[in-house]
Amino acid sequence: MSSTSRRQLLAQSMLMMSAVAAGSQLLANEGDQSSLPDSQLAPIPDDVLVHLLNRVSFGVSSQDLAQARYLGFRRYIQQQLNYQSIDAGDVENAITANLPTLNSTATELINAAQSGEMGQAEAAIQLQVATLARQAFSRQQLYERMVEFWTDHFSVNIQDGPIRFFKTIDDREVIRPHALGNFRDLLHANARSNAMLYYLDNFNNTRSGPNENYARELMELHTLGVDGGYTEQDVLEVSRCFTGWTFDPRNDYQFRFVRFNHDFGEKVVLDTLIPAGGGEQDGNTVLDMLATHPSTARFISRKLAVRFVSESPPEQLVDEMAQTFMGTDGDITEVMRTLLFSSAFMDQAEAKLKRPVDYFTSLMRVLGLGPDEGIFRFLLAQANTLGQAPFTWPAPNGFPDQSGFWANTNAMITRWNSANLLIGRLSDARVAALIDDAGTPEAILEALESGFLRHTLPKAEQQQVILFAVGEQPAGLQLSRPDAIQAARAMLIVLAASRYFQSR
Amino acid sequence: MTINRRRFLQVSGLATLPLLNSRLLLAADGASGIGNGQDVIVCVFQRGGADGMSMVPPLFDGRYFDLRPTIAIPENGDSAALDLDGNYGLHPSMASLKPFYDDGRMAVIHATGLTHETHSHFDAQDIMERADVDEQDLFDGWLGRYVGSATADNASAFRAVGVGGAIQRSLLGMVTPVGIQSIDSFSLNIPGEKNAELLELLEQLYAENSVLDLQSRQAISSIRSLADIDTGSIQPDNGAEYPASEFGTEFNELATLIKADIGVQVGCVDIGGWDHHDNANQRMPGLLADFSDTLAAFMTDMGDRMDNITIVSMSEFGRRAFENASGGTDHGHGNVMLAMGNGVNGGQVFADWPGLQQSDLVFNGDLANTTDYRAVLSELLINRTGLEAPEVIFPGFELMGEQGIFLPKA
């Protein structure tokens, strides 16, 4: 089946749903308290829930699909947005037990590495593993998606000097606390984060020769966007505003404003006068101006829409999100609510190519693998092979979110091979669980189509897959249990490599 | 409005890559870029905005030392620049390329680069690789347009190769490029008969014309082409030693593909890490050595093949003429390009030097750009590939006379 017919399928489901009168309530916004609980409405087609989970989670696990069926579309989203109400489950326990550096201070990490008590890269590795584990296994799936989004948005390279230590603090105290919070708070916290201060050189930005690196990326990448209406002169002026911002090695590398290094003269930023003598306040003023700027509202809204809806999101959706952004002073949860309850979110069933980590985590989630230390390290090894190990993008713009970037010959081969590797490692019991008691090639394939691929192949492709798995044997032949498991494994390899598993 | 331009490109990048005609879909093994009257073009992109004035310092211009009191490359002493022509020097960490300059196989082009005013890395790289200086919404990259043109008549699966984890934007176009990171891992990891069976099945399952289909089929035909060749037996020749760096390793892979004679027509390799806003004195030497030693090893390895290979290097912009308080430089404009190969009219610096006086500088204190990089690339294509109409590759650009950087191909 082509992707077109898949889109048609989803469109039909939507049509059916609205015909069953669920539509308006399904898409009702938060203010509409009068709508019936979803459980009293007609059941929502699985296609719709699979689409939802494909977008808000790192892959459609059986557990989450069951939860979405139980709660319904609206309440599932409400629950995911209210992420603190969800027990993050085993994964946080596993992280606490296995990855102790996640809770260390910067000074502790640096001292441990300097004394040789811990490897130089250990803190970075533990953070990478924890990040992937949370993506693959946390039940707070939308929250982890938001953490991923802001990690890319405020990208720092963990291979750059002390960021191998600082990123642990940045992740724990800047990105995660604000991922579904307020953008202004997030921006201010990020500007003071030692990881960002170091990465974009603000830590040694002084009046004797301002360093423009942070100022430029702050406007181009973090807030206004490259066409958001700033000039080269603004870059220079903003860099002057941030002179003296640094971190203090004697105080756990925390933010410090050094008056001596600050340019106390007056500045003009975006046609606004910042009077002389402002000191540390200059930077705060700039951050406030940028956090509440209409260009920022649109830039962030568009970027979220690209991530969660489509690579060319409808202007109307971006407008609505930007309005919410402006009207709520940058409340990220509310902006996401606008996005997720928009009609565009459901209309845009056009597939987005899974990024490499999406691909791999979705494989693990749909296979029902759970968090354990063996899997943890395997995940990181695969993310490295696939070219998307967390925090390793070498530029300040974060891993690309364009399918065109990720689709190339090397990437396809790497995907196929990483899936083969994982499927080869599955225990017989795990494969057996996926096919239940199916014993004929056609029944095995059917079980994997519904439980793994969540998509039915066209007949011709079904025959090709069966031929690959069991040769010329009849599709209705009853196989021995070991042969059935072997056939299922072969089918899984094909299905995971097929087009139907590449997009979300 | 530029937002629209970018958005258009993102969308079209996914959905509307032009369909290939069937001839191009089939990899004709053995078709060689070398021997069909055209040079293999190797394009090196220095990501991050390399500091051209540290690579090739203008030693004759006293302002250079005034503007860069702590990071100028000195004329004398232990870390002195290597003299090129009495005016310009070469960074001492680039010593391995000096012999190639001296015997005429490397030329420097200075005060060149992208003429667009952007100081954004991402915009500048994107515009430069598409050669869309006038924002005409071009989708293809300049090398993609070249490979897709009639001039580059070559049906090999490997005619356009992007080495590394991702495909360079400059390669996108009518011909689906091969992205390859390592030849060793460019195969399916399934043992026995199932390997070939799975390849065949995937070829059938990816029979449509989306980007995913094109890339998948290209991957499959490339795997098959490579499987026929004993690439393990291809080792560096002439005592060439590639650095163990990512850049060195990737160039070694490209060299292997070229020596396998499977029709490489253009190859792209990136080297990142040039965004030196601070500590240029510490950051520059190692990176420049990696860059230079790799290119020197490649030319040594290629030997006489360099008669038919031309390397060109570029970066999205140069850096501010004056240093900042962090011992680095901020984003600038005019920059350096290098051209290497036996078909280069080397041993000279091509420069219409704009000067470094305050009134000579552009934007917030940048070296001006007096040679459009498209002029350099047009000359390259005309002289080394026989391309007659460079405006096909660089729409909207008119070449106003050649500087003689490249020798006409014999």
Residue A471 has phi, psi (to 5 degrees) of: 70, -150
Average pLDDT over residues B74-92: 97
From A375-379, B70-74, B79-83, B104-108, the region with the lowest mean pLDDT? A375-379
Residues in B touching A471 (Cβ below 8 Å): none
pLDDT for res B37: 79
Average pLDDT over residues A380-401: 96
Residue B207 CB: number of other CB atoms within 10 A? Answer: 10
Residue located via tokens 């992109």: B45
CA-CA distance, B203 to B217, in Å (whole number)?
Answer: 6
Residues in A touching B212 (Cβ below 8 Å): 353, 407, 412, 499, 502
pLDDT for res A40: 53
CB pairs under 8 A between A and B: 172
| A209/B330 CB distance under 8 A | no
pLDDT for res A352: 87
> Tens of pLDDT along A471-491?
999 999 999 999 999 999 999
pLDDT for res B23: 27
Phi-psi region of B61 (alpha: psi -120 to 50; beta: other; left: phi over 0): beta
DSSP β-ladder status, B82-83 and B309-315: unpaired
Residue A208 CB: number of other CB atoms within 10 A? Answer: 10
pLDDT at residue A13 is higher than 60: no
CA-CA distance, A329 to A333, in Å (whole number)?
Answer: 11
| B205/A464 CB distance under 8 A | yes
Calculate the alpha carbon distances from A347 to A8, A112, A303, A314, A339 in Å. 11, 52, 18, 10, 12
Calculate the alpha carbon distances from B180 to A9, A398, B206 in Å. 36, 22, 20
Closest Cα partner for A448 from A440, B165, A456?
Answer: A456
pLDDT for res B214: 95
Please give the residue range of the domain that contains residue A34: 1-81
pLDDT for res A346: 85
> Tens of pLDDT along B126-156?
999 999 999 999 999 999 999 998 776 778 8
Tell me the pLDDT of chain B averaged across its residues.
91
Contact between A383 and A328 under an 8 Å Cβ cutoff? The reply is no
pLDDT for res A377: 84
Binned at pLDDT 50, 70 and 90, residue A376 comes out as confident
Count of CA atoms in the C-beta half-sphere (13 A) of B225: 25
Contact between B49 and B318 under an 8 Å Cβ cutoff? The reply is yes
pLDDT for res B111: 98
**Which 3 state secondary structure label does DSSP give B372?**
strand
CA-CA distance, B295 to B284, in Å (whole number)?
Answer: 17
pLDDT at residue A17 is higher than 70: no
| A409/B180 CB distance under 8 A | yes
The answer to whether residue B218 neighbours chain A at the CB level (below 8 Å) is yes
Whether residue A273 lies inside any domain: the answer is no
pLDDT at residue A292 is higher than 80: yes
pLDDT for res A39: 52
Binned at pLDDT 50, 70 and 90, residue A404 comes out as confident
> Tens of pLDDT along A118-154?
999 999 999 999 999 999 999 999 999 999 999 999 9
Amino acid at A492: L
Between A5 and B306, where is the model more confident? B306
pLDDT for res B33: 42
Query: In the numeric block, which tokens belong to residue B306?
Result: 């360099």
| B 6-45 near A (Cβ less than 8 A) | 7, 10-11, 13-14
CA-CA distance, A446 to A422, in Å (whole number)?
Answer: 21
Rounded to a whole number, what is the distance in Å from the CA of B11 to chain A's nearest CA? Answer: 6
Q: Which of A410, A423, A425 to mutate to test the interface with B (most CBs of B within 10 A)?
A: A410
Average pLDDT over residues B38-43: 96
Whether residue A488 lies inside any domain: the answer is yes
Binned at pLDDT 50, 70 and 90, residue A313 comes out as very high
Q: Which of B13, B216, B275 has the CB atom closest to A404's CB atom? A: B13
**Which 3 state secondary structure label does DSSP give B391?**
helix
Rounded to a whole number, what is the distance in Å from the CA of B236 to chain A's nearest CA? Answer: 23
CA-CA distance, A274 to A262, in Å (whole number)?
Answer: 14
In chain B, domain spans: 25-183+241-393
CA-CA distance, B216 to B88, in Å (whole number)?
Answer: 48
pLDDT for res B112: 98
Whether residue A334 lies inside any domain: the answer is yes
| Residues contacting residue A204 through CB under 8 Å, at least 6 positions apart | A211, A246, B278, B325, B326
Closest Cα partner for A137 from A50, A59, A51?
Answer: A59
Q: Which of A211, A402, A408 has the CB atom closest to B330's CB atom? A: A211
> Tens of pLDDT along B218-242?
999 999 999 989 999 999 999 999 9
pLDDT for res A42: 66
| B179/A411 CB distance under 8 A | yes
* Length reported for chain A: 504
| A204/B205 CB distance under 8 A | no
CA-CA distance, B92 to B105, in Å (whole number)?
Answer: 18
The per-residue DSSP string of A19-75 comes to HTT-HHHHT--TT-TTSPPGGGSPPPPHHHHHHHHHHHSSS--HHHHHHHHHHHHHH
> Tens of pLDDT along B312-360?
999 999 999 999 999 999 999 999 999 999 999 999 999 999 999 999 9
Helical residues (DSSP H) of A90-140, grouped into ranges: 90-98, 106-114, 122-137
pLDDT for res B7: 39
Residue A80 CA from chain centroid, whole number? 14
| A211/B277 CB distance under 8 A | yes
**Which 3 state secondary structure label does DSSP give A500?**
helix
Angle between helices A294-308 and A141-153 (to 10 degrees): 130
pLDDT for res A45: 86
Binned at pLDDT 50, 70 and 90, residue A44 comes out as confident
Residue located via tokens 């980007």: B211
Tell me the pLDDT of chain A averaged across its residues.
91
| A497/B210 CB distance under 8 A | no
Closest Cα partner for A59 from A147, A130, A136?
Answer: A136
Binned at pLDDT 50, 70 and 90, residue A374 comes out as confident
Residues in B touching A220 (Cβ below 8 Å): 120, 122
Angle between helices A183-191 and A281-291 (to 10 degrees): 140
Share of chain B above pLDDT 90, in %: 86
* DSSP-assigned beta bridge partners for residue B270: B45
CA-CA distance, B121 to B317, in Å (whole number)?
Answer: 8
Which letter does DSSP use for residue B20 in this model? Answer: P
Which letter does DSSP use for residue B92 in this model? Answer: G
Whether residue A258 lies inside any domain: the answer is no
Amino acid at A355: R
Q: For the CA atoms of A304, A305, A311, A317, what is the dihedral angle to 10 degrees?
A: -150
Share of chain A above pLDDT 70, in %: 91
pLDDT for res A347: 80
Query: In the numeric block, which tokens belong to residue B217?
Result: 């089929």
> Tens of pLDDT along A72-130?
999 999 999 999 999 987 899 999 999 999 999 999 999 999 999 999 999 999 999 99
Biggest alpha carbon–alpha carbon distance for chain A: 85
Residue A117 CB: number of other CB atoms within 10 A? Answer: 10
Query: In the numeric block, which tokens belong to residue A431?
Result: 């494969």
CA-CA distance, B268 to B143, in Å (whole number)?
Answer: 9
Tally of domains within chain A: 3
Give me the architecture of the B25-183+241-393 domain, per CATH. 3-Layer(aba) Sandwich (3.40)
Which letter does DSSP use for residue B165 in this model? Answer: S
pLDDT for res A349: 67
| A408/B167 CB distance under 8 A | yes
Binned at pLDDT 50, 70 and 90, residue A375 comes out as confident
Residue A313 has phi, psi (to 5 degrees) of: -65, 150
pLDDT for res A20: 33
> Tens of pLDDT along B165-182?
889 999 999 899 999 999
Whether residue A91 lies inside any domain: the answer is no
> Tens of pLDDT along A408-459?
999 999 999 999 999 999 999 999 999 999 999 999 999 999 999 999 999 9
